[in-house]
Structure 1
Amino acid sequence: MNLIKKIFLLSLLVLSQMSFSQVTDNAMIYRKDFKSISGKNTVSVTSYEKDGSHYVFAGGVGNIDVFSLDEDGILTPISNHELYMKKGPARGMVADNINGTDFLFVANKHGNVIETFKILNNGFLERVALVEDTDKTFLGTAITLQVVHMKKASYLFIGGLEETPGLSSFKIHNDGKLTHVQSMKDDETIHTDGIIGMYVHNIKGKTYLYTGGFQDNGVSSFRVYNDGTFKNINNISDNDTDRFLTGTYPVTGVTLEDNKYVIVGHRHHKYYKRAGFIKKTDFVYHGDGISVFKVNEKGALIPHFVLKDDETTKLQGQTRIEIVSTNNNEAILAVGTRDDASIQLLKLNKEGILTPINYLETGFSIYYGLKSHKIEDTNFLIAGSFRFDLGKIVSYKIAPKINRDGKILRHIVNLKYKETANKAQVDTAVKAFLDLKNEIPEIANIEWGINDSTEGASKGFTHTFTITFNNEQDREIYLFHKAHLELVNTVGPIIGDVFVMDYWTKHN
């Protein structure tokens, strides 16, 4: 009986591994919802589950917006909260539980402070602590936060940029207040100038922290001790041949079987046009790529594999890497890009090899604003853009790719104008709608007409526009394109109601 039971359990394990592999090889990103934010833009996004409810925090210039997220990926606005001195943006945000209390820690980039908010039962936020920069810390232009849980206490690690580069640790007290423990100023050896990504691995009871230096063009590993102090272990710099660390940006990690990996992305300095921002201007561009490092038993990083960008991937300007899902053998990663304006899905196997799966062109650049979140068995991605003209946060579902070969997408927009709208205003609105074809090349065709039905069921809708797209990517680009957003803002005041439907049909 025991043998039969073991065989049965082994069979279930094999089937689950096969099922996971089939999903990863064919995973795709599908937009589920988008909502407006009260802030000027979305720079950072994080999420948190509290007592069975799921919350999304979108931080930008001036404030933080809070949304609930349901099992269908629908976002519902809950509240918004001003940042200290109405500054920001909220560049680094991380939510965690400290001895039974849920907190949201926020790096207020231009406010030069770290803000601690208590997450209340309804998802609202209550500021409970504020830590300002001093001569001994590196909180000016703070951009990245990482909570590290040790045996007797938890610590918040903070990375700085520009005038105050370095790494600092603070003890987190039960009330959310922070006490400074240690700061390490950046130098020519370590890579802590512009820490935009951090990750923690635990190896045989010891804790290690990994950082990427945007200005330093490299990665560093640190041993973290139980009292919150830390010590540098090793450092790896970029080169102009087989490493892609110029402008080191997102840093994450995963454990597959007995292998521990750190995955590092970069946004190359060639993409930056702001005069004086890049400190080392003698860089060499030899492409874009994502680096995989293997972690040895002493916590040191060892270069292992690089996935280079090519015509089949969207990896230009990587700003965020999220672990979407994982089992013992492989993981799905989502890479947000600023210059390709896309989310690229990748698979990492237990041997540490990255392979592309699928990508979605989002229609907006991602600047640190990407977060994975799981509700029951469904994996979601939440994304936002730093663009001031967009003002949206978007949810996506990760699901098996739908076969739409030989099909095109129709986007039907039905409009009802206000009774106060005159003919000249309506004619101007129609022309502006048709002009989208000249502004957005992804639109395959636009046709329109005025309602001629005599059935009495048109409910006051008079104008219909049918837009044709060749694929899902083109619809995403159209939806968040500046020309489309300008149209919405321009004609919005004379629109009484709008009714939109999309459908797929065979290409004639």
Structure 2
Amino acid sequence: MTLTNKFTLLLLLLLTGQTSFTFSQQKENLVINRQDIKDISAKNTVTVTHYEKDGKNYVYVGGFGNIDVFSLSENGQLTPVSNHELYKQKGPARGMVATNVLGNDFLFVANKYGNVIETFQIQKNGSIERVALTEDTEDTYLGVAITLQVVKMKNKSYLFIGGLEETPGLSCFAINKDGSLSHVQSMKDDEKIHTDGIIGMSTHKINGKTYLYTGGFQDNGISSFRVYDNGSFKNINNISDNKTDRYLTGTYPVCSVQLGEDHFVVVGHRHHKYYKRKGFIKNTDFTYHGDALTVFKIDNKGRLHQHSVLKDSDYTRLKGQTRIELVSQTDNEAVLAIGTRDDSSIQLCTLNKEGTLQPIHYLETGFSIYYGLDALQINNVPFLVAGSFRFDLGKVISYKVEKGSDHKNKNLKHVVSLKYKASATKEEIDNALKTFEDLKDKIPEITALEWGENDSMEGHSKGFTYCFTLTFNNASAREKYLFHPAHLDLVKTIGPIIEDVFVMDYWTEKQNKL
């Protein structure tokens, strides 16, 4: 596009009131495409992380009671490797993080209600073996542990731990060669710092110095700390929520981004208004003034400075942010994925070098994301792995983030062909057909549903006898259908009498109604 054409387009946008347009939107049209779905042994998915070992990528999915291990192929296919019980069959597994320490590969897991930090050694095939337990004490604030952050210094690696204790604080442990943890320092929460309910942590290295950033879910703010080579740390500065231009009530995910020489911390929140449990929120004196992501710029001394805000709108899905993942970045721009519990979505945004967030695409996943979102790259291709907090949906799902069309002016056709077992009775088949047909009344995202019995005489039906065609307005509607309780109930109901199923999806132009 020439400079003249750019100014012409900008003038047109100003005249039509579309002043929110940015040229970066033309540069990248990223979409989220589902690649695979697998069952898990845990009761739900709470946390997801990954690790690359010997050129292979492994995904660790933690929930109540168990951790499931999968390998992840270069096209996003998940293959089960193993599953492992958490200490005392408790959990859920929170704040999982994998790293290499002195030549050994470890997975650290915060066992939320087991009140311990579990250390697992990662084996050659990606499976894990528990090698150490670090239990809570009155001085270490490991009770209801939620968030873990590995900080690597010149000669030692450290594990920082935060949680939701009644007497909260921040703790640092040195990671030993055998995976055991040695306590270095704990800092008790007070009225100044934001460490009451640490659900998000991240780090920056600036001019050779290391800084840690913590979000306080209960005390509604974010704090910065200087971390020293021996693992000790001190508070640098603190920023609290306000009722105008800051969105930190229920501070939740925290993500660090470096663009060139500029350092940013992007902070989300799951506002206290979204919690219904009596007594869970300590300070109920809050005002809801919307949902938003807040960007802080970091100075050369590691201090936080409020910089910009991306407010939720009809064109974004930011209600109840629980995870912010760095998908990809250059020196000038980063792509972030924001998982939301209350919007049940993954929102993609770009962060430019000026420190401004711009939404580019979202996918309504059909399930709420409760910390269970992880980003990784395989051969420079970005992927996301997510899971649901729902107890009726024991699944882990992989997605590819890629350039593509959002199909705004198209409908999505979802075609399902069924082959029933020879043992299925007419009554069972009729009941299955009725259950499938009734989905259109239970799932509003289905805009049309038609079905029929095979009438082809060509001899290529391969035994499939019934075909259903469902119509959706967009990809998000398909995801909502796929993970809707009514559809899951259908699968459970008719599964025992199904011999085979064949599914194809395709896009069609929307028909203009006269």
TM-score grouping bracket, smaller chain normalisation: over 0.9
Q: Tell me the CA shift for residue 251 of structure 1.
A: 0.3
Provide Cα deviations, 1:60-97, integer angstroms capped at 9, x if missing partner.
Answer: 00010111111111111111111101111001100111
Residues 191-230 of structure 1 correspond to what in structure 2 (within 5 A)? 191-230=194-233
Choose the corresponding residue for 1:327, options 327, 330, 335: 330
Q: Which residue of 2 aligns with 1:245?
A: 248
Q: Tell me the CA shift for residue 406 of structure 1.
A: 3.5
Choose the corresponding residue for 2:491, options 488, 492, 495: 488
CA 350–102 in structure 1, closer or farther in 2 if over 3 Å, else same: same
CA distance in 1, matches of 2:461, 2:141: 62
CA distance in 1, matches of 2:437, 2:27: 40
CA distance in 1, matches of 2:163, 2:200: 11
The answer to whether the 8 Å contact 1:140/1:164 transfers is no
CA distance in 2, matches of 1:259, 1:138: 33
Q: Which piece of structure 1 moves more, 437-446 or 396-405?
A: 396-405
Runs of 4+ in 1 over 6 A off after TM superposition: none
Provide Cα deviations, 1:348-382, integer angstroms capped at 9, x if missing partner.
Answer: 11111111111111111100001110011210011
Choose the corresponding residue for 1:125, options 114, 128, 137: 128
CA distance in 2, matches of 1:241, 1:261: 21
- 1:356 partnered with 2:359: yes
Q: Tell me the CA shift for residue 24 of structure 1.
A: 6.2
- 1:366 partnered with 2:369: yes
The answer to whether the 8 Å contact 1:408/1:470 transfers is yes
CA distance in 2, matches of 1:94, 1:333: 19
CA distance in 2, matches of 1:26, 1:410: 22
Q: Percent identity?
A: 69
Q: Which residue of 2 aligns with 1:274?
A: 277
Counterpart amino acid of residue 356 in structure 2: I
Q: Tell me the CA shift for residue 403 of structure 1.
A: 5.4
Residues 99-138 of structure 1 correspond to what in structure 2 (within 5 A)? 99-138=102-141
Q: Tell me the CA shift for residue 460 of structure 1.
A: 2.1
CA distance in 2, matches of 1:91, 1:463: 44
Q: Tell me the CA shift for residue 188 of structure 1.
A: 1.1
The answer to whether the 8 Å contact 1:141/1:164 transfers is no
Q: Tell me the CA shift for residue 151 of structure 1.
A: 1.1
Q: Tell me the CA shift for residue 329 of structure 1.
A: 0.7
Q: Tell me the CA shift for residue 454 of structure 1.
A: 2.5
The answer to whether the 8 Å contact 2:48/2:385 transfers is yes
The answer to whether the 8 Å contact 2:31/2:406 transfers is no
CA distance in 2, matches of 1:430, 1:185: 61
SS of the aligned residue for 1:368 comes to coil
Provide Cα deviations, 1:298-351, integer angstroms capped at 9, x if missing partner.
Answer: 111111111111111110000000011111011001100011111111111111
Q: Tell me the CA shift for residue 206 of structure 1.
A: 1.2
Counterpart amino acid of residue 441 in structure 1: P
Q: Which residue of 2 aligns with 1:459?
A: 462
Q: Which residue of 2 aligns with 1:259?
A: 262
The answer to whether the 8 Å contact 2:172/2:183 transfers is yes
SS of the aligned residue for 1:292 comes to strand
Q: Tell me the CA shift for residue 207 of structure 1.
A: 0.9
Residues 387-398 of structure 1 correspond to what in structure 2 (within 5 A)? 387-398=390-401
| Alignment: residue pair count | 489
Q: Which residue of 2 aligns with 1:163?
A: 166
CA distance in 1, matches of 2:163, 2:358: 32
Q: Tell me the CA shift for residue 503 of structure 1.
A: 1.5
TM-score (norm: length of structure 2): 0.93
Counterpart amino acid of residue 68 in structure 1: S
The answer to whether the 8 Å contact 2:157/2:175 transfers is yes
The answer to whether the 8 Å contact 2:25/2:360 transfers is no
Q: Which residue of 2 aligns with 1:437?
A: 440
Q: Tell me the CA shift for residue 226 of structure 1.
A: 1.0
- 1:474 partnered with 2:474: no
Choose the corresponding residue for 2:424, options 421, 424, 439: 421
CA distance in 2, matches of 1:71, 1:43: 24
SS of the aligned residue for 1:453 comes to coil
RMSD: 1.3
Provide Cα deviations, 1:243-301, integer angstroms capped at 9, x if missing partner.
Answer: 00000000011111211111100000000001110011010000001011111111111
Q: Tell me the CA shift for residue 23 of structure 1.
A: 8.1
TM-score (norm: length of structure 1): 0.94
Q: Which residue of 1 aligns with 2:402?
A: 399
CA distance in 1, matches of 2:99, 2:128: 13
Q: Which residue of 2 aligns with 1:347?
A: 350
SS of the aligned residue for 1:351 comes to coil
Unaligned runs of 5+ in 1: 1-19
The answer to whether the 8 Å contact 2:46/2:93 transfers is yes
- 1:297 partnered with 2:303: no
Unaligned runs of 5+ in 2: 1-22
Q: Tell me the CA shift for residue 418 of structure 1.
A: 1.8
The answer to whether the 8 Å contact 2:141/2:165 transfers is no
Q: Tell me the CA shift for residue 458 of structure 1.
A: 2.1
- 1:234 partnered with 2:237: yes
CA distance in 2, matches of 1:390, 1:160: 26
Q: Which residue of 2 aligns with 1:11?
A: none
Q: Which piece of structure 1 moves more, 259-268 or 465-474?
A: 465-474
Q: Tell me the CA shift for residue 162 of structure 1.
A: 3.6
Q: Tell me the CA shift for residue 22 of structure 1.
A: 7.1
The answer to whether the 8 Å contact 1:24/1:332 transfers is no
Q: Which residue of 2 aligns with 1:174?
A: 177
The answer to whether the 8 Å contact 2:29/2:405 transfers is no
SS of the aligned residue for 2:145 comes to coil
CA distance in 2, matches of 1:406, 1:229: 56
SS of the aligned residue for 1:143 comes to strand
Q: Which residue of 1 aligns with 2:28?
A: 25
Provide Cα deviations, 1:150-202, integer angstroms capped at 9, x if missing partner.
Answer: 11110000001042421111000011110111111111111101101101111
Q: Which residue of 2 aligns with 1:312?
A: 315
The answer to whether the 8 Å contact 2:42/2:67 transfers is yes
Q: Which residue of 2 aligns with 1:147?
A: 150
Q: Which residue of 2 aligns with 1:15?
A: none
The answer to whether the 8 Å contact 2:257/2:264 transfers is yes
CA distance in 2, matches of 1:317, 1:155: 30
CA distance in 2, matches of 1:352, 1:166: 30
